[in-house]
A and B are shown apart, each in its own frame.
Chain A
Amino acid sequence: MASLITNRGAYLLLGFAFRGTAVPTNYYLALATNGTPPTVDSNLISDCTQIATGNGYSAGGVSLTPGATDFDTYTEDDANDRALVRIKDITFTASGGNLPASGSGARWTLLTDDNATVNSRQVLAAHDLTSDRTVSDGQDLTIQDIEIRASTV
């Protein structure tokens, strides 16, 4: 699964660690189409195209709390000179019709901060789901193995 940390995300993460910037109370995992694919230059959720809301998806996605419950696996990989943190499995259940309710399927996840205005949330990382994903009423869309990677080379 292709993934990227945005430049804004790297800036924010360094700020959390060394500048003393307040860590968001929550992060959010949003779903986006491939209409405007996220890149390392994506800053805000409005730079991307969220999937249509409804039928089990709310604007901005699902809330994640910093800590062991939602970020359940940390890895230090000396063979590949990197560190990774993995998000727990996230399930969206289609309810009342297809998810997404209309338009293109979910192609990307976006890890964002928790600005009260959804479109103003900053994108820290994006993960490619490799194809447009749509599930029908009652089915689950489970997102697993979302990792945020920091490489040292």
Chain B
Amino acid sequence: MEINVFDFALRSQELDAAGYAFYVVDPAEMYPAMIEYATAVIEANDMSRVPRDQRGYVATLRPLGDLSAAAVHVDSATDLDGREKILETLRLWFTRLLKTAVAEPIGLRITSDDPAVLAYWRLRPKA
């Protein structure tokens, strides 16, 4: 039940003038890693091991069922709401984990050189 956010959050530059440390994250790495981590935390079912400021993510995700379903790109309107909620919660959780690990203000760029990857991890298909 461990995750090392620096496995996929790459430092892109030193602190800028305002004091932010910048990181680049590929959604094709971040989301699957967070799905695996969140699933493990939920299955462990031991909130005492979850930092207080992260318990809300567990509470949000637990009722949503199999988180791995969010790793599948869907176009169906019926599945979009659940997938969006899962992915948004995982992004917030990841951001908090990274911010905690860095211990400085952070700038984060979620991106990929591959447009297909960006489209795949989009919360909702473009109209």
Q: Show the binding face of A for B, using Cβ within 8 Å.
A: 67-69, 71-80, 86, 89, 142, 144-145, 153
Contacts and interface: CB of A to CB of B under 8 A. Distances in A.
Interface string B78-122: 000000000000011001100100001111111110000111011
Nearest to B52: A142
B95 A144 contact: no
Contacts of A142: 53
Interface residues of B, number: 27
Nearest to A153: B126
A89 B108 contact: no
B18 interface: yes
Interface of B: 18-20, 27, 53, 56, 91-92, 95-96, 99, 104-112, 117-119, 121-123, 126
A68 B110 contact: no
A75 B53 CA distance: 20
Contact of B105 (A69, A77, A144, A145): A69
A144 B18 contact: no
Nearest to B117: A79
B20 A74 contact: yes
